[in-house]
Structure 1
């Protein structure tokens, strides 16, 4: 069962191997010389040419440059503080011609050749991408492309054509205007296959040719791609070289993760290999020459099959090491986990096999998610979602999950299999975008995004909603007396104390600006809401943080204004905010360190 499961996901690994950033020589200086800085000042813009149809690497969409190289150009633009303008072209050939005519100062992604060196200089390569062959679905997996004697296509003026013609003389390579037209010709049977990068080919198959085309072979060559710079401006080449060195591995990975999320399937179909095998005659006295010929042919097929199986085993090992996957019985007890699962969870296989899958469950996950998950898969349906897990050392990792039932040969359900994608970095970035950096509470941006959802949810359930605004009493005087660093410390301690009181799923705290904060929660009536806020107010004063300038207490205190109402009586968020804010000002006018109304 393990082998069958792994085969199903065998070529998903291709998407994780399609691009890698090449190592950067960190020993070289990245400081611009005065001469290089003067050149940048003299240039108003830098014009870049791209391949107009080479996703996910680059293309034009509504006259806008998008794709991986677009993000690199924006990053370089910010580092150099100069505008990089993309020149519109209709084909890669036209882009090259523009480069010769000096209409382009740079090329975002280009391979160095002797011919191109007549008008361009090149930085060190910053991306390397494998080359693959795309065919129709019914074609067999090609272990050795050198044995293929067919007509295949490649985009016109791509640098690798001459290299491939020398190393693969049996291939009849023809030039096609662009990748999309080439894949259409393969689909129609006009070409046996088409050559391009695994990234671009996989993207097009996923978007436009799913179930019709597949990746059937891999060349032993990779595309090493650089930034090309017009060779009459050597200082510009030095500037871009140094700027590439300043790009961190984390920045490379963020760009690649954004665009390289393509998954596609290619597989060996044994029915074509075994099609020739027919019934063996039962007649005992068969002519000896026919027996010899049949045995020879069978031996050749066995050897060929052994080679394929050996290659398949190596792919299975790659999948095991790189795809986070698990198989459980019907009760959720683990029967199999991949090496990638062990790596991300920090458990050994023997620590996981036989245990409940909940061993990695994080206590923060809402039980409603698991209830909905089990209801779905128990009905023999596929469940998809995002789950927060806890590793052995207590650290958090997030996964995007697909869980589906598995069956035995009698079509009886015997368990579940799951395939996961690590999205921890993505979740961390999302958390940063909605969190106030100082206090670690939610920020105003998330307040504006979340509040309408909370109001609508409360309206559907006919619930009460309480919204309170509070701020630190005489906080400006505190800053003037103790200094801003101490003021920041007070904000952190106070918000930490407030959050320690907010333990329900629908309790939220936001920093709305300066020393002003918001609290949102649901309750069954307004009297309980006020008691809850009084408790929070009291806990702030009980921190006993000295505040000499506070006129109502020797310690730091806070004033609260709130509005408690049935959700269906709320007309809009602005009105709710205004009413709570008015009550806060009333609390200040009434002497501070109180909750109003």
Structure 2
């Protein structure tokens, strides 16, 4: 994440406790590799709830946390016992371990045990079923002890156990509920269910405190005080981040072992930005916002590092801080000879042409060399200033504090023009100066903006290049679409100016034709760019197999309808539709038939649905239908109509199959996750009660009760 500068939380430590901390360069903490979402390794980088939580402890204690990963569990216990390892953040309290471990009085983690299985297994007997479980774990021993007759497939990790169910090597996988849910979503296994199995009695709740070396009362007391000092809302934010189960496959691949080691040693990095350069980057109400803020947020998540913004009041001050070594990174900065003295530069991250902005009644200028003795504004410290002064010696360049000051002085007549990037200029014209200013000239230069890396952190340069290269075009376009809306004005004022020239100077008719052609080319280029942007946006929001909307495309529509429901009390209903025995279709008739079934189902539903409803492929063989302005009873009738249509039509079109449908109406006070879970439970009940049927969330709730 990209953090804003905040005051550090302080806690009271006794002199002995403070002396203990002062005597240690850091606190060594175990980072498990396969315990998601609490602690796991991805691309060689430690991630998870416990990792972030221990970093917060380090913040309140003003102590560096050094994570120790890649060691076996028995070795971690040995290192804790010898004092080589300071903390194991999540460890079960057992009689045997109390001989060499002191446990905190609070539980760092609590979770329930669950199972993962195919929807088709719901209600089936355990007889003949194979259960997959991570070997040498408490659950492995529990199954062997309590269910000796059931075949057990011992896997190296819980992830492998879940995949064993997905590929048919096992029927059930058991583990912690959060870990199972994490891996199901990681692999998009929407045909698997996480829950409890009838007849399989698993220990329901597990509580894990923190553990320190026996008799290390000082460290135990310090951890207790640190835990109490972390604000509740920060803990809740971490839980929301890691426990909601929203897995994103977004780690940076291709990192070398030395690069991973470097990141582990530099988990927090300081960044300097231009505080007033919207929409690329800025500080608004104390928050770092803009295109670079979102892109750096992606890199932060994927590298599992924290970016701390260094406060500054201007771009010039940010550069001064960079020269002093206070800035590890500049998210968007142009490479210059002077800056190379203190920065290394990545490949270009964002590109934008330079343009000149003038008042709306100014004539178009195809070449700035034709402009003489005019005052042109530029922001002080910008990289292209030196180049402009050398290339256009007949112009007087006036330095301004920021883009707003420059544009305001153009509007008020103190400057003839102002030069900046097309992205930033277009944004400001649209939002502040529409009808007053316009783009009057494009300069034959592109502003290539890279990430600047402090020279002393040279190993960070290839890491950032890898991070940039792995942010897809669709992701970049999505960010740009949220922040930028550049529109070239229909420059009829150019034509009016040219008509005036035609009347007064007929010999310049050829110039007029040239202007018109130039304007036409400009409009064609703008149109081409808009088409390309829209195609990229459509690609990112559409499921490539079926052609219907995907989750990414549905998110803003769902949010909009939920907001309408809360504000105007208009009903909105969700259907979750799942093909029955879809795995059997793939296994017996082949994946091509399965794909054909998905395509036919999408086409059939699209043709049968009302114009106001939205069809989404949610994942695998599961579809979601959003029904605005619809009561639950009416939605139930529609769902039954769809069910009958599919049952009757599928044998003639592809292969015979049926669907089960869960239907749920939004309660205005609930979140999307809660709404989805209620509707998914209805689908679960539809499967459990025989399939090929419709169940509403109200009916499902009554059955559970």
1:306 equivalent in alignment to 2:510: yes
**Structure 2 CA distance for aligned equivalents of residues 75 and 526 of structure 1:** 38
How far apart are residue 137 of structure 1 and its match? 1.9
2:442 corresponds to: 218
**Structure 1 CA distance for aligned equivalents of residues 585 and 496 of structure 2:** 83
Q: Does the C-alpha gap of structure 1 residues 504 and 208 become closer, same or farther in structure 2, counting only changes over 3 Å?
A: same
**Structure 2 CA distance for aligned equivalents of residues 276 and 502 of structure 1:** 57
1:189 equivalent in alignment to 2:189: no
In structure 2, the gaps of 5 or more residues are 1-251, 700-705
2:66 corresponds to: none
Instruction: Tell me the secondary structure at the aligned position of residue 456 of structure 2.
Output: coil
Scaled by the length of structure 2, the TM-score of the pair is 0.48
How far apart are residue 542 of structure 1 and its match? 6.3
**Structure 2 CA distance for aligned equivalents of residues 233 and 118 of structure 1:** 13
1:54 corresponds to: 277
User: Between Structure 1 and Structure 2, how many residues are aligned?
Assistant: 432
**Structure 1 CA distance for aligned equivalents of residues 618 and 691 of structure 2:** 19
Q: What aligned pairs does 1:245-324 form with structure 2 within 5 A after superposition?
A: 245-265=469-489, 266=491, 268-269=493-494, 301-320=505-524, 323=527
How far apart are residue 96 of structure 1 and its match? 0.7
Find the partner of 1:151 among 366, 375, 378: 375
Find the partner of 1:240 among 446, 455, 464: 464
Q: What aligned pairs does 1:183-582 form with structure 2 within 5 A after superposition?
A: 183-265=407-489, 266=491, 268-269=493-494, 301-320=505-524, 323=527, 423-431=534-542, 493=597, 500=604, 503-506=607-610, 532=641, 535-536=644-645, 539=648
In structure 1, the gaps of 5 or more residues are 1-28, 279-297, 325-339, 341-398, 400-419, 547-554
Would you say the 8 A contact 1:443–1:512 is kept in 2?
no
Scaled by the length of structure 1, the TM-score of the pair is 0.56
How far apart are residue 208 of structure 1 and its match? 0.8
Q: What aligned pairs does 1:41-80 form with structure 2 within 5 A after superposition?
A: 41-80=264-303
Instruction: Tell me the secondary structure at the aligned position of residue 219 of structure 1.
Output: strand
How far apart are residue 561 of structure 1 and its match? 9.0
How far apart are residue 558 of structure 1 and its match? 6.8
**Structure 1 CA distance for aligned equivalents of residues 400 and 639 of structure 2:** 73
Would you say the 8 A contact 1:438–1:488 is kept in 2?
no
1:364 corresponds to: none
**Structure 1 CA distance for aligned equivalents of residues 633 and 408 of structure 2:** 63
Q: Does the C-alpha gap of structure 1 residues 47 and 481 become closer, same or farther in structure 2, counting only changes over 3 Å?
A: same
1:180 equivalent in alignment to 2:404: yes
1:100 equivalent in alignment to 2:305: no
Q: Does the C-alpha gap of structure 1 residues 429 and 148 become closer, same or farther in structure 2, counting only changes over 3 Å?
A: same
2:263 corresponds to: 40
Cα offsets for 1:415-435 (capped at 9, x unmatched): xxxxx89634434444459x9
Would you say the 8 A contact 1:36–1:239 is kept in 2?
yes
Q: Does the C-alpha gap of structure 1 residues 499 and 73 become closer, same or farther in structure 2, counting only changes over 3 Å?
A: same
Cα offsets for 1:332-379 (capped at 9, x unmatched): xxxxxxxx9xxxxxxxxxxxxxxxxxxxxxxxxxxxxxxxxxxxxxxx
**Structure 2 CA distance for aligned equivalents of residues 517 and 256 of structure 1:** 29
Instruction: Tell me the secondary structure at the aligned position of residue 459 of structure 2.
Output: helix
Instruction: Tell me the secondary structure at the aligned position of residue 232 of structure 1.
Output: helix
Cα offsets for 1:23-55 (capped at 9, x unmatched): xxxxxx984333322111101212211111112
**Structure 2 CA distance for aligned equivalents of residues 225 and 588 of structure 1:** 56
Instruction: Tell me the secondary structure at the aligned position of residue 255 of structure 2.
Output: coil
**Structure 1 CA distance for aligned equivalents of residues 281 and 573 of structure 2:** 49
Instruction: Tell me the secondary structure at the aligned position of residue 393 of structure 2.
Output: coil
Would you say the 8 A contact 1:470–1:517 is kept in 2?
yes
How far apart are residue 504 of structure 1 and its match? 2.9
1:118 equivalent in alignment to 2:356: no
How far apart are residue 257 of structure 1 and its match? 4.3
Cα offsets for 1:486-539 (capped at 9, x unmatched): 999889959956974774333887899999988889999999989847845854
Q: Does the C-alpha gap of structure 1 residues 256 and 310 become closer, same or farther in structure 2, counting only changes over 3 Å?
A: same
1:138 equivalent in alignment to 2:356: no
**Structure 2 CA distance for aligned equivalents of residues 539 and 46 of structure 1:** 60
Which structure has the greater CA radius of gyration? 1
**Structure 2 CA distance for aligned equivalents of residues 315 and 556 of structure 1:** 58
